[in-house]
C-alpha cells in the first residue's frame, strides 16, 4: 500500500464549480501535511499547509482528520488558472524529507 494515496483524476469541472480532493495516508506518525500544486513541466509549489483545525486561504480550504488519516482540499469558484496537478504531501516524525502522493489532476474548463 502506498504511504500517501490520492485519486489521480482527472477532474474536469466548469469554471465556477466547487471541487474537492481527498487524500489518505498510512503512517500514523505523520506530523505535517501539505498541498502542493504542480503545473505542467514545472516544479511543485506549496499551495498551503494543512492544520488539525482546518485552514482556509481565499478560495482554498484544507482539512485534516487525524483519526481517519485523511486530508482534503476544497476549491471554490474554480478558475481556469486552477488547472494543475494537486499533490498531497506528508512529513513523518523523524524524517525531514517529504512523501508525495501521486497527484490529482484538475482541468477547469470554460
Q: Does 20 bind another protein (CB under 8 A)?
A: no
Burial letters 49-59, b for 16+ CB under 10 A, else e: ebeeeeeeeee
Give the whole-angstrom CA distance, residue 57 versus residue 70.
19
Report CA-CA distances (Å) from 82 to 20, 91, 92, 100. Answer: 13, 25, 28, 20
Nearer to another protein, 16 or 95 (CB): 95
Q: Is 97 in the site for another protein (CB under 8 A)?
A: yes
Q: Which is nearer to another protein, 19 or 87 (CB)?
A: 87
Stretch that binds another protein, among 11-19, 64-72, 74-82, 91-99 (CB under 8 A): 91-99
Strands 30-38 and 84-92, by their bridges, are antiparallel
In terms of CB distance, is 74 or 98 closer to another protein?
A: 98
Question: Would you say how long the chain is, in residues?
Answer: 110
Is 106 a binding residue for another protein by CB under 8 A? The answer is no
Give the interface with another protein as residue ranges (CB under 8 A): 32, 34, 41-46, 49, 87, 91, 96-103
Amino acid at each position: 500500500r502506498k504511504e500517501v494515496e490520492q485519486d489521480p483524476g482527472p477532474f474536469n469541472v466548469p469554471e465556477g464549480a466547487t471541487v474537492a480532493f481527498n487524500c489518505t495516508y498510512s503512517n500514523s506518525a505523520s506530523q505535517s501535511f501539505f498541498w502542493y500544486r504542480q503545473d505542467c513541466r514545472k516544479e511543485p509549489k506549496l499551495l498551503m499547509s494543512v492544520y488539525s483545525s482546518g485552514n482556509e486561504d481565499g478560495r482554498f480550504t484544507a482539512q485534516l482528520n487525524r483519526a481517519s488519516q485523511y486530508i482534503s482540499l476544497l476549491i471554490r469558484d474554480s478558475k481556469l488558472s486552477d488547472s494543475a496537478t494537486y499533490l498531497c504531501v506528508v512529513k513523518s516524525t523523524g524524517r525531514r524529507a517529504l512523501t508525495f502522493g501521486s497527484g490529482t489532476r484538475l482541468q477547469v474548463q470554460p
